[in-house]
Amino acid sequence: MVKIGVIAIQGDVSEHVQSIGRAMDILGIEGSVITVKRVRDVENLNGVLIPGGESTTITRIMNKSGLTEKIRKMYAEESIAIMGTCAGCVILAKEVEGGEVRGLELMNMKVMRNAFGRQKESFETLVDVKGLEEPYPAVFIRAPIIEKVWDDCEVVAKLGDKIVGARQDALLALSFHPELTEDHRIYKLFFDML
């Protein structure tokens, strides 16, 4: 049984919970999806998803609640998989341009927050993602850009010359919002890391 936790501080939490549940059904994966607000909620998880929202706010609350340290420890000791979308991508990065607060800092990458502009400049486009046969319909909302990756962190998605997806071991960071599409292939990539 797979158990996935979605950090429920801010962002499209219910959309991720529903999308993960649908993806599990489609793929025939037995398991459950829960929301995570406290440290005790992350016990016995196989994977954690950090949704979009405002990265500074999410990080501050995760730090204050002890979630940041608990998730770091679980990743180091239990090799749980972690996927971050939009703000979650920022929280996973070791370096953040203009970042005020330290997040999980697990991925060897540098991220620029809100690189695609304001809310009104949001858009959807097809993106080639490593591991997917067909382009993915990616939704970008005040999205970050991954400026560079190093060591064992690899680029898995680009939009033109901009990096919008990276993977390192069981960590997946995406600039876009897979929960806002009906395409569940990104979640399969996440499940494959469990």
Report d(CA 44, CA 48) in Å as an integer.
Answer: 11
C-alpha dihedral (44, 61, 118, 125), degrees to nearest 10: 0
Report phi then psi at 39, rounded to 5.
-55, -40
DSSP reduced 3-state for 76: helix
Integer angstrom CA distances of residue 124 from 43, 120, 136, 140 = 35, 12, 10, 6
Report d(CA 128, CA 145) in Å as an integer.
Answer: 15
CB-count burial class (<10 Å; 0-12, 13-18, 19+) for 134: exposed
Report phi then psi at 37, rounded to 5.
-120, -25
Question: Which amino acids are annotated catalytic?
Answer: 86, 177, 179
